[in-house]
């Protein structure tokens, strides 16, 4: 079941969730150097994003958070009693990578 707008809004401001997004973003930015299945234009954009992520991971995570929250796997994950997402690390990694790829294609 999808999160309500109130739950989604709270997750968009959740600092614990933002920290997890930062970890996933930094992991993906490190892997971008070995990915070679994109077009030249999207590859250039991803490399620029990767450098920016390496320099400003907190800012990048903050900017990604509102979009990552709308990923179907995030929306389908449960929320604990403190309002934190119980999404798995693997599903969060996929959500972050999908969001980054959409924004840089």
Angle, CA of 89, 31 and 85, to the nearest 5°: 20
Closest CA to 26 of 102, 103, 92, 104: 92
- 1-5, 22-26, 58-62, 78-82: least confidently modelled range: 1-5
Secondary structure string (H, E, C) spanning the chain: CCCCHHHHHHHHCCHHHHHHHHHHHHHHHHHHHHCCCCCHHHHHHHHHHHHHHHHCHHHHHHHHHHHHCCCHHHHHCCECCCCCECCCHHHHHHHHHHHHHHHCC
Report the pLDDT value the prediction gives residue 35, as an integer from 0 to 100. Answer: 59
- Bridge partners (DSSP) listed for residue 61: none
Report the pLDDT value the prediction gives residue 62, as an integer from 0 to 100. Answer: 98
pLDDT at residue 51 is higher than 80: yes
Q: pLDDT band for 41, please (50, 70, 90 cuts).
A: low
Q: pLDDT band for 38, please (50, 70, 90 cuts).
A: low
Higher-confidence residue of 75 and 35: namely: 75
Give the span between the Cα atoms of 27 and 104, in whole angstroms. Answer: 17
- 2-16, 28-42, 81-95: least confidently modelled range: 28-42
Q: pTM for this one?
A: 0.90
Domain ranges for the chain, please list them: 5-103
């Amino acid at each position: 079941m999808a999160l309500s707008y109130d739950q989604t809004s709270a997750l968009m401001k959740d600092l614990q969730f933002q920290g997890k997004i930062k970890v996933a973003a930094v992991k993906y930015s490190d892997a971008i150097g070995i990915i070679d299945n994109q077009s030249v234009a999207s590859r250039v954009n991803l490399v620029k994003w990767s450098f920016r992520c390496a320099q400003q991971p907190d800012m990048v995570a903050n900017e990604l958070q509102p979009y990552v929250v709308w990923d179907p796997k995030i929306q389908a994950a449960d929320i604990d009693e403190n309002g934190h997402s119980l999404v798995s690390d693997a599903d969060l990694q996929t959500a972050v990578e999908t969001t980054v790829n959409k924004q840089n294609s």
